[in-house]
């Protein structure tokens, strides 16, 4: 039993190191020190300033696309977490506002969406991979990950920023 626990621990450490390395490589073009202004209109025409909101409490920012197969799996977890924490998503190249409203309604997602159909916001941050989940606190990027992330992983990232 002790042997197997040791093997599992070693595998876990290797997995975490590889995940960190992949995230670092995928987000190499992101400026982690100086976030640009993150402002936009939701698909319901509400003005949002994500950086300003992060001074009230940590904000989870979710870059995704309706065309992204991994995003379709992650979005349900993002929707669940949005019922408990502030979550704002940025839909990249996913059509006009009406198309996004229909998609959100069909999938029964409640999280807020900023339409970044021309990738202006994504380019300003250097985002090249979806899904990308970032946590912004006090105007700074405190945590990020690319690819699949579980509900527990989302919760952990928000909780870490809240401490």
Q: What is the pLDDT of residue 20?
A: 62
How far, in Å, CA of 117 to CA of 123, rounded?
A: 11
Show the CA angle centred on residue 86, arms to residues 116 and 153, nearest 5°. 90
Rounded to two decimals, what is the model's pTM?
Answer: 0.81
SS3 44: coil
For the chain, what is the domain count?
Answer: 1
> Per-residue pLDDT tens for 31-63?
555 677 788 999 999 999 998 999 999 999 999
**Which of 81, 140, 135 minimizes the C-alpha distance to 112?**
81
> Any idea what the CATH number is for the domain that residue 34 is in?
3.40.30.10
Provide the CB-side half-sphere exposure for 147 (13 A, CA): 9
The answer for 86, left when phi > 0, alpha when psi is -120 to 50, beta otherwise, is: beta
How far, in Å, CA of 148 to CA of 145, rounded?
A: 8
Domain that holds residue 75: 2-162
Report phi then psi at 115, rounded to 5: -85, 115
Residue 160: Cβ within 10 Å count: 13
Query: If you average pLDDT over every residue of the chain, what do you get?
Result: 87
8 A C-beta contact, residue 32 and residue 143: no
Q: Which residues of the chain have pLDDT under 70?
A: 15-34
Query: Which residues face 145 on adjacent strands?
Result: 133
DSSP single-letter state for residue 147: S
């Amino acid at each position: 039993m002790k042997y197997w626990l040791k093997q599992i621990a070693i595998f876990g450490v290797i997995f975490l190191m590889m995940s960190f390395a992949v995230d670092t490589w995928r987000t190499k073009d992101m400026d982690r020190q100086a976030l640009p202004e993150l402002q936009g209109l939701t698909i319901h025409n509400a003005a949002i300033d994500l950086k300003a909101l992060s001074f009230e409490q940590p904000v989870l920012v979710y870059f995704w696309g309706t065309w992204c197969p991994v995003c379709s799996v992650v979005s349900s977890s993002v929707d669940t977490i949005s019922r408990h924490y502030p979550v704002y998503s940025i839909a990249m190249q996913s059509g006009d506002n009406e198309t996004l409203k229909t998609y959100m309604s069909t999938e029964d997602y409640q999280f807020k969406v900023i339409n970044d159909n021309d990738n202006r916001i994504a380019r300003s941050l250097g985002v090249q991979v979806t899904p990308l989940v970032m946590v912004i606190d006090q105007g700074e990027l405190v945590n990020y990950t690319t690819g699949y992330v579980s509900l527990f992983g989302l919760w952990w990232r928000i909780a870490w920023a809240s401490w």
